Each structure stands twice: as structure tokens, then as C-alpha cells.
Structure 1
Amino acid sequence: MQPRKHPDLPSLNGLRTFEAAARHLSFTLTAQELCVTQGAVSRQIKQLEDQLKVILFHRRHKQLMLTDQGILLSSPLTRAFNIIAEGVDRLKNQQQDFSLKVHPTFAIRWLIPRLHHFQALHPEIQVRLTTSGENVDFSHENFDAGITHEGNDIPGITREKILTEQLIPVCSPKFLATVSPLEKPEDITGRMLLHNTPDLKEWAIFADQAKIKNLAMERGQVFEVDDAALQAATSGLGIALGDLFLIRDELETGRLVAPFGLIPIKTGNYYFSRPDFNQKPGNVTIFQDWLITTLNQTDPQKKTV
């Protein structure tokens, strides 16, 4: 839709003065609202009337009344200034928004259940959360910060390590009861593996660190994210790799068991990333401080750094 072409409009200051005077029907109250003198209000109205070549007010003894022309102008001006005020309010509120892109497993299993605590502490900051298995690309995406899994150092991006990923094989008690004993890592050979990435790399790392030869990677189900693989493991489909920090609830309640104990493999880290050019360092820093403090409080082994 093409913008409408406007003829030469009167002074915005004059229109604003008239709109206030039309609401108050008093130059004195208008002057108080606009923090100017009554004489300045009177001059602005006179200049506007001269420019428009109309009379906007009937000036009577201690009484101000709109003329028909004044009534015709005042209603659209009030609507217009209300629209402007709403736009300014939305802009102010948006400036308090904090947009964050988060790895899905970290978001689902740790951040989202605790996010209400942050909002209670800082109701003025609205967190807008986006989950994705792809790390945030600040050069093409409009996010204030990101919680990323792995990735590389990038000039202009500050990354702080917040969590060391430590994976262990887990499955449901139901699955464990239906297979021959899983007593040592080599016993997973021939079992249904639940892969949390299409490249199968984490089970490959596990096999390497556990010194398992010829582990059949193709024998398994492939998922896009960790949480889907862990849900499948909880349902009894097979064996998944779960982060000790993020599956603590399932281990404590027995929904998942660790057949080989809690000795993990290390495959990577989670990072809090923020662009150096960010224009809202206050919000970013407030959230980052809360995040790290809360991680430390909920991690008895202090995996955070």
C-alpha cells in the first residue's frame, strides 16, 4: 500500500496544542499539561487558525467552546496522537524485551521450568525464547544472546562456558528388564541405540572413549535433538546418551536408569553467547548473571565455570 501524500500540514506543535485545548476547553489547563505559559497556548492556537483560515474556538467570558470546524479537527487529532502514544509505548516495551535463542534440550529440561523465577525477579524484562538445534548466527539473526552447544569462537562474539556436557548411557527400567544384562559398556553391542543427532557422532565418541570396537551405529533410531531421544528412551525404545545435569530428575525418579553407572563421557560444552555490539547490555548482563547463579545453585557438582 502506497503511503498517502499529504499537503503541507500545520505545525505539529500547533496541532498538539489545539488537541490538548480541545480536550480541556481551557487554555490554563492546556498550558499546565504542556508546561508552557497560557500566552504561548493562545499564540499557538491563533497561528493555527490563521494557517487553516478557520476559527477553532468560540472565546467567551471564562468559557471556551469548540466551533464546528474545531470539532471536525479535534477528533482525528485525538485518534492520531493516541496512535502515536501507543507506538511509543510499544517501542519502550520492546526495548525491555530480551530475545534469546537456546538449544532445545537445555531449554526444555532446565531453562523453561525455571524461567518464571527470572520473570518474577525482573518483570520489566520480557524474555522472548526461541529454541533451535542450530546455534545463533548474530550476523543474520536478531537475537540479544544465545545458549549454544559447542560452536567456534567468532570475532565480535563473547562466549562464556556455562556447563560441561557429560553424557552417560541411559534407558528405561522396562527396556533393561527385556534384554540380557547390561553390565559393561561392551554389552550395548547389538542393542537399539537412540541417536540424538543425524551424524551419530556422540555414540561414536562414546564407543571410542569406552574402547568399544565395531559398534553398529546403523542399528538405531535417529532423532534431531537430545530431548526426543531421551523421551524415546523413557518410553522403552532403546538406549540413549543423556547429560547428567539435564536428566537428574529422570534418574532420581527412576524413569531412567544408568546401567553402567554415572561415569560420563565428555563431548562438549554449553556456552552463553552475546554479540559485542549488543545495544542492551543491561538486560543481557542481568539475565546472564541470573543464569550462572541459578546453574551453580542447581548443580551440586559445580559443573559450571
Structure 2
Amino acid sequence: MLPNLNTLRVFESVARYQNFRLAAEELHLTQSAVAQRIRQLESDLDIVLFIRQARGLELTEAGLKYQHSIKTALTIINEATRAITQTPQHLVVSVPPSLGAKWLLPRMNEINDTFPHIELRIIASEKKTHFGTDGADFVIRFSQPPFDSTLHSECLSKINLCALASPTYINKNKKIERLADFAEHRLIEDAHENWGKLSKHIALPNASKVLRFEQTSLAIDAALAGQGICISPHMLVEQHLTNGELVLLRRIELSKEQGYFLLYPKNRNFVNDKHLVLRWLKVEMKKMEEKWIDWTRNS
């Protein structure tokens, strides 16, 4: 029995996220309905596509091959349909420069593959946005409430700050066992001045031992180069941590209200597939939150 198109779309989403819940959110289905579709598909094909594990799903070798073919087929179908039913869309998103460089840019290939019919335009800015004059559909800002009452505001991710350094720097310098030990190291500061905010808890080193940058992304790059220890939101360094380029030394707890907030006018409606891009951003940032929770639980 050949599976129907809806079942294949469910499979592609589950294979991409390797998670029933995230696929269900994307497809506007219940988690149990998604799981049932996958069980039925495996039964119809008489092939195991996923290995069920305590922490999620893993594609089998057959599942990986099937995913590649189904993704290609669905892309062809979607593009053919859009070619005759839709005109090209563009979506303008304004994000802080460091979030754009360290979090959004590495995901651009995935965005383009997932939404090939949408031209995503990125504005790198931390300034207050005046909707209607700068052309932004929505903005993401590192901020905290309260916000303008005319704006829809939604926290996409808590700030989740952490102190980091490169393996080279750690191997060459004194071990850090407690918060006060940071004072004996070269610290890398950005415009948020998080080290300065910690001054009531630790004695900071002389100004000559503090490297200062305007943007968090530059502070991260300095840490990657072995120049010292920086403080960064976990979201911006997750890839560097995964690659072993940076080592997470300690959680840094400051304001609990700060985070990355989604903002747009309350009367704004996202038509066609623009709302899907918005949903994709929310899901991806939620995944970052879950990774942070896992790290704090296991550390």
C-alpha cells in the first residue's frame, strides 16, 4: 500500500525534527496523532524508520534514505504548486547584529530549503523599530518588559547567560572553581557590561585586563581566539560549544526578565506562509531553551 501525501508530510517533519512534539506543533496536529501516523507508515512499509530512545528519535539507515527521497519529492510538489498559485513573498526581519551573525546566519540554508518561495531580508539592528517606516514585518530584540501597548510582545527565549573560554585559554591559565576566580583572568566585555554587573559579587581585574567590544559576536570571536573569558547568551554560542571550540565554565545569573522578545504591531496579520516562518523561529528558539535546560540539569 502506497502512503498518502499527508502521511509523507508527517514523516518528513518528524524526520527533520526527530521529535514527535515539535513535528506536531509544526503540523497543527496532536502528538499522539503524529506518532500514530508514523507507526502506521512503518506497518504499511514493513520497515522500521525510527529508533525510539528515551531522549528522542533517531532515524534508522532505511529512514535516512527514505527521508532524503521524500524531502526531494515534497520539495518538487510544493514548488510546482506554488509556481502556479503564488507570487514570490518577502519577509523583513530585524534582529540584533550578534543574534543575526551567531544564530540566524548558520540557519539560513535550512530556512531557504524550508521556505524556498520566501525571500528573507535581514536588518541587523538593536535600535527601537518604528514599524511602517523601516519595512520590518517583525523584530526580535534583547530586552525586557514593559513594551509599547500597541505591540504584540512574546518572549522567545530567556537570556541564559554563561561564561565561556576556548580550550587553549583554559589549558594555559588558572582553573576556575568559584565565581571569585574570574577576577584573576582576562575578561572580555561587550556593550551589555555583564562583567560590570557582577562587580558586586567579584572583584574585577584592572581595566588593562579587560577587553571591550561593542557587540557580543566580537566578544565571542575574541574568546574563540583564546583572548580571555566572555559572557554570552547560550543561544549565540551553542554551535561553538557543540564543535568544542568553546567550553562552558559557569552559568551567570543576572536579570530574570531579560530575553529575546518577538515584537510586532497587534493589528498586523501574517498571511500566506509568513506565519510559518514565524512558527519556525519560535520552534527553533524553543529547542535552544530545551538544550539549555538539559545542560543545567546535567551540570
Task: Give the superposition deviation at 1:287.
Answer: 2.0
The match for 2:158 among 139, 142, 164 is 164
Structure 2 partner of 1:212: 202
Indicate yes or no: 2:177 matched with 1:183.
yes
The match for 1:111 among 104, 110, 117 is 104
Indicate yes or no: 2:252 matched with 1:264.
yes
2:154 touches 2:263 (CA, 8 Å); kept in 1? yes
The match for 2:114 among 106, 109, 121 is 121
Task: Identify if the C-alpha distance between structure 1 residues 237 and 214 changes in structure 2 by more than 3 Å, giving closer, same or farther.
Answer: closer
Measure the CA separation in 1 of the matches of 2:206 and 2:253.
Answer: 19
Task: Give the superposition deviation at 1:298.
Answer: 4.7
Identity score, percent = 20
Task: Identify if the C-alpha distance between structure 1 residues 177 and 297 changes in structure 2 by more than 3 Å, giving closer, same or farther.
Answer: closer
3-state SS of paired residue (1:109): helix
Task: Give the superposition deviation at 1:169.
Answer: 1.3
Measure the CA separation in 2 of the matches of 1:187 and 1:228.
Answer: 24
Task: Give the superposition deviation at 1:153.
Answer: 0.2
Indicate yes or no: 2:193 matched with 1:201.
yes
Matches within 5 A, 1:1-305: 96-138=89-131, 140-150=133-143, 152-197=146-191, 201-208=193-200, 211-213=201-203, 216=206, 219-259=209-249, 261=250, 263-267=251-255, 268-278=258-268, 280-301=270-291
Measure the CA separation in 2 of the matches of 1:179 and 1:121.
Answer: 44
Letter in 2 for 1:192: R
Measure the CA separation in 2 of the matches of 1:166 and 1:108.
Answer: 18
Task: Give the superposition deviation at 1:128.
Answer: 0.7
Task: Identify if the C-alpha distance between structure 1 residues 282 and 161 changes in structure 2 by more than 3 Å, giving closer, same or farther.
Answer: farther
Measure the CA separation in 2 of the matches of 1:214 and 1:290.
Answer: 41
Return the TM-score normalized by structure 2.
0.60
1:170 touches 1:239 (CA, 8 Å); kept in 2? yes
Measure the CA separation in 2 of the matches of 1:154 and 1:282.
Answer: 27
Measure the CA separation in 2 of the matches of 1:280 and 1:244.
Answer: 29
3-state SS of paired residue (1:258): strand
Question: Which of structures 1 and 2 has the bigger CA Rg?
Answer: 1
Letter in 2 for 1:124: H
CA RMSD of aligned residues (A): 2.7
Measure the CA separation in 2 of the matches of 1:302 and 1:176.
Answer: 22
Task: Identify if the C-alpha distance between structure 1 residues 264 and 284 changes in structure 2 by more than 3 Å, giving closer, same or farther.
Answer: farther
- Residue ranges of structure 2 left out of the alignment (5+ in a row): 1-85, 294-299
Task: Give the superposition deviation at 1:107.
Answer: 1.6
Task: Give the superposition deviation at 1:258.
Answer: 2.8
Task: Give the superposition deviation at 1:102.
Answer: 0.7
Measure the CA separation in 1 of the matches of 2:210 and 2:242.
Answer: 26
Task: Give the superposition deviation at 1:192.
Answer: 1.9
Task: Identify if the C-alpha distance between structure 1 residues 258 and 119 changes in structure 2 by more than 3 Å, giving closer, same or farther.
Answer: closer
Task: Give the superposition deviation at 1:127.
Answer: 1.0
Return the TM-score normalized by structure 1.
0.59
Task: Give the superposition deviation at 1:183.
Answer: 2.0
Task: Give the superposition deviation at 1:299.
Answer: 4.2
Task: Give the superposition deviation at 1:265.
Answer: 1.7
